[in-house]
Amino acid sequence: GLYRLSLDSSQQFDVHDLTVNGQDLAIKLTSGSAFVARTPDGATAVVLMGRGRLMFSPPDEAERTQVRIFAGEEALNADFECALVRVRPSDFALYFAKDSLVARAVAPADLRRAQEFFDETIGRALQIDLTDLSRDRWSLVPVSGDMIAEFRTKRFGNLTYTRVGDDAEDVSLFDRKRRKNISVYASSAKLAERGRFYSEDDLVDYDVLSYDIEAAFSPERLWIDGLAKMVVRVRAPFATTLTLRLADSLTVRGVYSPEFGRLLHLRIVGQNSIIISLPAAATRDAELPLQVLYSGRLEPQTLDREAITLQDPEPFVLQAEPRYVYSNRSYWYPQSTVTDYATAKLRITVPQEFDVVASGTPVGPPAPAPGPVESGERPRKLFVFDADRPVRYLSCVISRFSTVTTAEMRITTSDDTERGGIEHGPSEDAARDKGVSLIVQANPRQASRARGIAERSTAIFQFYASLVGEAPYPSFTLAVSESDLPGGHSPAYFALLNQTLPNSQLVWRNDPVSFESYPSFFLAHEIAHQWWGQGVGWKNYHEQWLSEGFAQYFAALYAEKERGADGFTPLARQMRKWAIDTSPQGPIYLGYRLGHIKSDGRVFRAVLYNKAAMVLHMLRRLVGDEAFFSGVRKFYMDWRFKKAGTDDFRVAMEAVCARDLKPFFEAWIYGLAIPRLRFSYEVMGDEVALKLTQRGPVAPVPVTVMLNYTNGDSDSLVIPVLEQTATRTVRLKGTLRDAQVNQDYAALAEFDK
């Protein structure tokens, strides 16, 4: 199935009024010429040149919104100069009619131009690296029904369209220059086949059970030497190949199996993928131990999503302590192509001046690295970590740390809660204490600040455990580091918390998560990720709000516990404003793609953090505190150490509140619109009639109405607006001065009074 594709230089074709149709795509070439590349089975690639136009029009509202952000209109129309269309040879006649390509004499200038574009684009997809066996360019052909099209447009540069039936979202449009997904979605045929919801686990043929990783880092050189031992279990009926993910910059020295010896492996060009060939088919439930030896230069990752955005950058005087983060986006060890819960043991060595915080409970203090120290090399230290509970991915941060404090946190849990019960809080006879080891480490200049952070961490951790019913992991390390901007990152077992330098001149007030009234926000948010994002994962990127929205809301709940309404209301006001302002950018369900096209992380945080948190708050007000927190505990226990989706959360909530919540989730997770309501009231003797009317499509929203009396007293009530109009008649307690709506900023709605 591998081919050395090249253009047929002996034949050129005239093209007139050609139309090639793909899923939601039309390629039109009024006049021009074409060259083809063939396999023994027939033509598989066509280079089109001339006066062409591509039209891409996704059917989904959210996807049309993303196209509008990119192109200014909800359907992309662009002139192109050159295009490369790739299909399976057996499908060629379905796209190109028999008389659409008319043979003519070859024009050398046209051939040179076509060859240049072919060479530029053919290696972008389906190219296999066989450097150990052959230096030639080897390509696969698309699967039947699939289509790949590369365009050089005048207005938008190079664009790539794909229809890949094996992908969960089989249609995509990609901005090649900026490396941005413009549109990614499931076609109508795909939706009919699998439904609206899917899990990324369904895309792989195996499950990783455990990792045992030895990694030697040389931070200044950004170099890693690694040996990864992993055990995988086959999920498919049978498997002849396994695809792993490893950073493209790392070289695989060998792949081994105790049963089969050294295994053939291939790299896909330009992708973080390794294809491992098995000498015999492995059947379902077979467990395969694998060893991957690798090394190379690898840049540490930045915390672009969990860090704040600058408003007005200024230079620094004091340099932050160097740190190196290798986590979920760096692919620093061989892993599944999707996040995969597994246990792990890590053995990490670094030069003796560095320290390591990583996924798992530290096993003893650091020790001298085994083996002799070579001439000219510095002594090294060995750090060992044991993740005996499943984690979604493995992470480590390398810097200079000193231990600030260690403590044993007492976490009160309930046997009822652990069995998945929905009681509100632990009963006295069922409650018991569990310990969670807390370790706080800090860069040397941050040690004094970290001592205060340690006390707050304990209080936050215990508060969250009281809401959910347990702590997911037996230990938690807080690494306090220096950075240009506040923010953090929270893999399983530890969290990295940025502390800005005292002489920083940076300004970041114009960010959705810059809460001046709540300096503990980032700490509370990152700790919450131990439950939401780690203890419970998400099935695909659309479900990421179950991590970020829950973490944001739990952080707001801690502010409410710590300061009451005075702590919560300012957060709600800011979160509501950002959510309303950015909702036209896309629904919560769009995940990482919010703000992606314009590289504006504020949109991502405004919608996935703030709007999602406000949606959870509205859900709480809709169903009541007891049902809400019981549902949250049930959801957590049902999906602990598994990946969940929006529908799973909805089912858990419906189980405890016995009501249909589909309209609520449809409006707030999948929809973009912010409802607009008109509020009015009329005093009738000793009663007041309150009326709320939605102008436009109905979105279920609970609204607070405040009744203010002339004697200074006030009463508030929540009115769920579930239909076009909601009314409530209330007996007055005195002379009414006025009635005000949404003074607590708890409703994501705009109001006409």
Strands 494-500 vs 475-483: parallel, antiparallel or unpaired: parallel
Closest alpha carbon to 396 in 327, 336, 341: 327
Closest alpha carbon to 141 in 220, 248, 40: 40
Asked whether 649 and 664 are in contact (CB, 8 A), the reply is no
**pLDDT digits over 622-635, tens only?**
999 999 999 999 99
Residue 43: pLDDT band (50, 70, 90) is very high
pLDDT of residue 422: 33
Q: What is the mean pLDDT of residues 682-699?
A: 95
pTM: 0.93
Q: Please state, for a pLDDT cut of 70, what percent of the chain lies above it.
A: 94
Helix (H, G, I), strand (E, B) or coil at 7: strand
pLDDT of residue 218: 96
Tell whether the torsion through CA atoms of 37, 43, 47 and 49 is positive or negative: positive
CA 187 – CA 175 distance, rounded (Å): 20
**pLDDT digits over 382-395, tens only?**
999 999 999 999 99
Residue reference for tokens 């369209």: 161
pLDDT of residue 421: 35
> Counting beta carbons within 10 angstroms of the beta carbon of residue 83, is it exposed (0 to 12), middle (13 to 18) or buried (19 or more)?
buried
The angle, 0 to 180 degrees and rounded to 10, between the axes of the packed helices 545-563 and 521-528 is 130
Residue 306: pLDDT band (50, 70, 90) is low
CA 335 – CA 219 distance, rounded (Å): 22
Q: Which of 314-323, 546-555, 603-612, 690-699 has the lowest mean pLDDT?
A: 314-323
Asked whether 364 and 384 are in contact (CB, 8 A), the reply is yes
- Between 487 and 160, the higher pLDDT residue: 160
Residues 6+ apart with CB under 8 A from 296: 223, 224, 247, 249, 250, 251
Asked whether 727 and 690 are in contact (CB, 8 A), the reply is yes
Structure tokens that stand for 697 in this block: 């499509």
Model confidence at 567: pLDDT above 80: yes
Question: Please, which residues bridge with residue 31 across strands?
Answer: 16, 51
**pLDDT digits over 235-273, tens only?**
999 999 999 999 999 999 999 999 899 999 998 888 899
Which region holds residue 270: left if phi is over 0, alpha if psi is between -120 and 50, else beta?
A: left
Asked whether 513 and 605 are in contact (CB, 8 A), the reply is yes
Model confidence at 419: pLDDT above 60: no
CA 538 – CA 497 distance, rounded (Å): 23
Q: State the chain's mean pLDDT as an integer.
A: 92
Q: What is the mean pLDDT of residues 48-59?
A: 97
- Between 116 and 519, the higher pLDDT residue: 116
In order, the DSSP letters of 538-589 are ESSGGGTHHHHHHHHHHHHHHHHHHHTHHHHHHHHHHHHHHHHHHGGG--GG
Model confidence at 428: pLDDT above 50: no
**pLDDT digits over 2-42, tens only?**
899 999 999 999 999 999 999 999 999 999 999 999 999 99
Q: Which of 443-457, 497-511, 602-616 has the highest mean pLDDT?
A: 602-616
Q: Which of 127-136, 186-195, 551-560 has the lowest mean pLDDT?
A: 127-136
Model confidence at 307: pLDDT above 80: no
Buried b (16+ CB within 10 A) or exposed e, 252-272: beebbeeeeeebebbbbbeeb
Model confidence at 431: pLDDT above 50: no
**pLDDT digits over 162-184, tens only?**
999 999 999 999 999 999 999 99
